[in-house]
Structure 1
């Protein structure tokens, strides 16, 4: 039996469907595929206990994270490096708040809007790293700017949302060399770390030589296993000094860990590797299918190495692509939300029937007529 089941979602309890009622949801970054059965069974058993008291962090949670990092990323981490947090965004904000002293914060653009706006929380300026068409996480010029400005924090998204750019080890090593001797700490949102569609392997920031003690790596099973509604994440912080500041800041600004999220995380990381491989196979197929069909339109798409989000140049269409697709019942994300007007983001973590309907609609509206 194919382990990828279609989730039974409704407008009454699912944001993806409720935001644009009646439209097929290709906008928000979660999936039409159901959460894996081992996770659902474990959550069901936990619910049967009949209480939601404050949870205790069991050692098996930490062990599952260590197991996942070792087997998926070839990254051996110590138990004490791990800090459980409510979600990745709270982790990034806590990370920046715990290390920020003065000056601008470096962050990539286009980017998820909560990362674009990260400076507003600190009354800090933002220096943007343009990654829209470069297909690299930062340029030599960006590294030169970082070296010159000596910022408190550089915030990365890897794989990047929405561009899907995946940082290589060599690129991250060049960043490590750049900030050697600087006050800079790098905070990396790696929520999409497991959705790698190309040949390369995900490289966690903290696994890179020279960044171990200048980094906060934020990870989560949320995007991988369709768990956004049972929010849970973790930061890996090898530096004792940075970790102490992070934990102190977290205690002041965030509270509470989701009991069901802990159950989901542990069972995802211990029991769902095979399910993930099946998902990745489907996503690679969907990405190729989408690319091939968009070749017949005025929309331009270069498949990326990571995420299930297609970043599409719609400027040549000469119209509001977001509005026209929504009018036909296809909900996507407007690139303006990520700091890139004229582009769109399309979620392809959906079954083939939905992919066919969505791309048929795109071809009807924007197909080449030559």
Structure 2
């Protein structure tokens, strides 16, 4: 069901960028797995109609999101809170542009590159919030966070939860503490939760805006794109409970940010309305990949992988300071996401959202490289 799909002749960035170097691509965060048959069928039926004109979000599309949030998170949302967007990256850039006020924007580090770049691109100053491994847990310094939130020029915190690249999921108690601090210092939160449906071990995800302390000061960003492997269709949504924030958001995006592609909206509706069983099977497959990779990497010196609940991304740290892992993986014929772009130059991010055969191949290439360099 979850075999590696040959993506030749599909113009897939993941496979084409390093094809000439003959590197196994395990970098950008899309999967080499077929999307659910229900999505393919729904898109095929829609494409059979020969008119591809403008389409705005429709009632059953909104209802699919409302029902998904209720079923998955016990979060009762109003369809009026939804603002449809072409992706989470333009969404958090819009949040910085709209709410950053050319001041200081807090961003966790390491983090995926577009989030690190957003403050500077929108004329703001990035304030890094280091997330480090302490007491068997990825966590930040709460004292530092409180200090930065209290700065008079700080108006926005861009949160990534589940964390990309680490795969950690913030506990409800942590979000409640964050909400109290944001209230105390009158700071808005933009919470990128695009990986929230990729939690592999039953850990509960709490949407930030589902907390009373954050509901009136939070923009939550979600999408079906990563989970159901339809990222190329360009569709996401922001959930903004507070009417005034939502109106400001809609005014700013008017004639600047387009609606999503209508096929992306169709795929999203189908994913949430018809693909729950496929979703559960996917989580089982990804957990198998993650656990095999984690067990295998234990035998390789100089690196440590701490498997986390969420995402199909493995964040691997170097245990030798000043010795980056990216070159080792490239020499082994594997292209990872290089840690230097995430703010951690010695680390790499590895995408295990593929068939089990490619995970085995990657491990074997690492073993061959290790044997040759003893």
TM-score by length of 2: 0.93
Q: Report what 1:201 is aligned to.
A: 204
By how many angstroms is 1:321 displaced? 3.3
Deviations 1:192-243 (A, max 9, x none): 1111123421111111120000100000001001111101000000001111
In the alignment, is residue 158 of structure 1 matched against residue 161 of structure 2? yes
The aligned counterpart of 1:282 is 285
Structure 1 residues 340-355: aligned runs within 5 Å: 340-355=344-359
1:251 to 249, 254, 278: 254
Matches within 5 A, 1:184-333: 184-298=187-301, 299-316=303-320, 321-333=325-337
- Measured against aligned partners, the alpha-carbon deviations of 1:84-130 in whole angstroms (never above 9, x if no partner) come to 00001111111222222242100011111110011112221111111
Give 1:322 deviation, angstroms: 2.2
Distance (whole Å) between structure 2 residues aligned to residue 12 and residue 275 of structure 1: 24
Could you tell me how far apart the structure 2 residues matched to 1:38 and 1:322 are?
A: 38
RMSD after superposition? 2.0
For the residues of structure 1 that align with 2:191 and 2:53, how far apart are their CA atoms? 32
CA distance in 2, matches of 1:287, 1:132: 21
- Aligned residue for 1:223, secondary structure, equals coil
Q: How many angstroms apart in 1 are the aligned matches of 2:297 and 2:271?
A: 34
Contact 1:100–1:153 under 8 Å retained in 2: yes
CA shift for structure 1 position 12:
5.0
Moved more, 314-323 or 203-212: 314-323
Find the residue that maps to 2:4 and give its secondary structure: coil
Equivalent residues of 1:43, 1:264 under 8 A apart? yes
Q: From the superposition, tell whether residues 169 and 7 of structure 1 become closer, same or farther in structure 2 (CA, over 3 Å).
A: same
Displacement after TM superposition at 1:318 (Å): 7.2
Name the SS for the 1:195 alignment partner.
coil
Match of 2:64 in 1: 64
Q: Give the aligned length.
A: 368
Unaligned runs of 5+ in 2: none
Give distance in 2, aligned partners of 1:111 and 1:318.
19
What is the SS of the residue equivalent to 2:162? coil
Q: 1:321 to 1:364 in 2, by over 3 A?
A: farther
Partner of 1:10: 8
SS in 2 for 1:210: helix
Write the distance in 2 (CA, Å) between the matches of 1:113 and 1:217.
19
8 Å contact kept, 2:4–2:357? no
Give the stretch that moved more between structures: 136-145 or 201-210: 136-145
Supply the distance in 2 between the matched residues of 1:249 and 1:96 (Cα, whole angstroms): 12
Per-residue CA deviations over 1:145-196 (Å, capped at 9, x if unaligned) read 2342152100011111111121111100001111224331100111111111
Equivalence for 2:366: 362
Which secondary structure does the structure 1 equivalent of 2:320 belong to?
helix
Distance 2:305 2:329 in 1: 17
Q: Provide the C-alpha distance between the structure 2 equivalents of 1:67 and 1:152, rounded to a whole number of angstroms.
A: 32
- Equivalent residues of 1:317, 1:366 under 8 A apart: no
Give, in whole Å, the separation in 1 of the partners of 2:148 and 2:328.
41
- How does the TM-score come out when normalised to structure 1? 0.94
Question: 1:110, 1:131 within 8 Å by CA — same for their partners in 2?
Answer: yes
- SS of the residue aligned with 1:229? helix
* 1:29-65 alpha-carbon deviations (Å, 9 max, x no partner): 0111111100000000010001210013210010000
Q: Distance in 1 between matches of 2:51 and 2:36?
A: 23
Cα shift at 1:331? 1.4
Are 1:146 and 1:179, in contact at CA under 8 Å, matched by a contact in 2?
no
